[in-house]
Structure 1
């Protein structure tokens, strides 16, 4: 169970009586979602990380696509995945699949190539940059629909938002990295990612889905 503290206070503000004080708190309780965990072991994550690193080295240096075959149960799951590349603590590329039909290990390879070469915000990664590239992998749970912003827990949920054929997604870690409030987070998602009005998240016609992510980088695999 996940608990958020929404508001705290006491009776002094209402009565002015400091001799008899009653404290109160508003809490929101969220049941743990069954699909939160990717089920990946530490060894699975190391294998997935190695696939991404080997893919980047082969593709960026030689233009070759890494040929990988695995038979581990968890890496054969069809799960959404994002590969994020950073250099000197700045974003260098991020591409992913929210829902995948292929095994996780092949999606990891394909998203590594896409992050290095197909993110329209950046030029393709050059061989001389590889030594400075840091990789972060996010393995996603299955998305589920929510009725509104009240069900979204910042820092825990990634959010998919769509309307009229347009769609945008923010990973859970975006909230922590930016320090945005929930309103800012959703407004930026509407405008930046979905190319919709900033208040589209308040429109009943907008579909909102949430997911969780198992996020790891090399430092987490020691």
Structure 2
């Protein structure tokens, strides 16, 4: 399930919208970072003078199988890895290559991506907005809002696109975010619940 975050305290953030050129640059960097790590077993150095890429925001990188002739329908767009960092404490330029590598090689749900497999995968990047407290669950718009839940040391995050992947109702979404954090299904009623949006962009088929 997409949306695995690092275990750190929540930091509120504001991220300005990225233009198409900046989006393409991050997608290229993400793919290059994975390929470089597979070949050299270390993270590549990155730099840019673009202020948009230097802004600090949380982000996630999702890997899915690319459609190709002969591929069974249930294999197309299959999740292959998703990891990220929800805090606004790293420049996107520095953060995205690192979480791209982690999504490809360190997502505990999947075996590591290989160099042969990488061209068969599509990359998607989700840049997180600021987090807003949920005062009434009717505020939550399915397909628009991601959720963060936190209670003590337990915390979970789900990206906005997740409910649509499973055709969840709002109640099912709330139960799922609780399970993601290792809580009982109704724990959202007594926990800190935050909502956020993302600017999502992906590679072309």
TM-score per shorter chain, which class? 0.7 to 0.9
**Equivalent residue in structure 1 for 2:38, among 42, 60, 63:** 60
CA RMSD of aligned residues (A): 1.7
**Equivalent residue in structure 2 for 1:143, among 106, 131, 138:** 131
Larger radius of gyration: 1
Answer whether contact 1:38 1:140 (CA < 8 A) is retained: no
Please give the TM-score of this superposition, normalised by the length of structure 2.
Answer: 0.84
**Equivalent residue in structure 1 for 2:96, among 94, 108, 120:** 108
Answer whether contact 1:36 1:213 (CA < 8 A) is retained: no
Instruction: Give the distance between the partners of 1:54 and 1:62, measured in 2 at CA.
Output: 12
Instruction: Give the distance between the partners of 1:75 and 1:37, measured in 2 at CA.
Output: 10
Unmatched segments (≥5 aa) in structure 1:
1-34
Aligned to 1:197: 184
Answer whether contact 2:15 2:57 (CA < 8 A) is retained: no
Instruction: Give the distance between the partners of 2:49 and 2:91, measured in 1 at CA.
Output: 10
> Which structure's relative contact order is higher, taking Cα pairs within 8 Å and 6+ residues apart?
2
Aligned to 1:21: none
Shift of 1:100: 2.8
Aligned to 2:163: 175
Please give the TM-score of this superposition, normalised by the length of structure 1.
Answer: 0.78
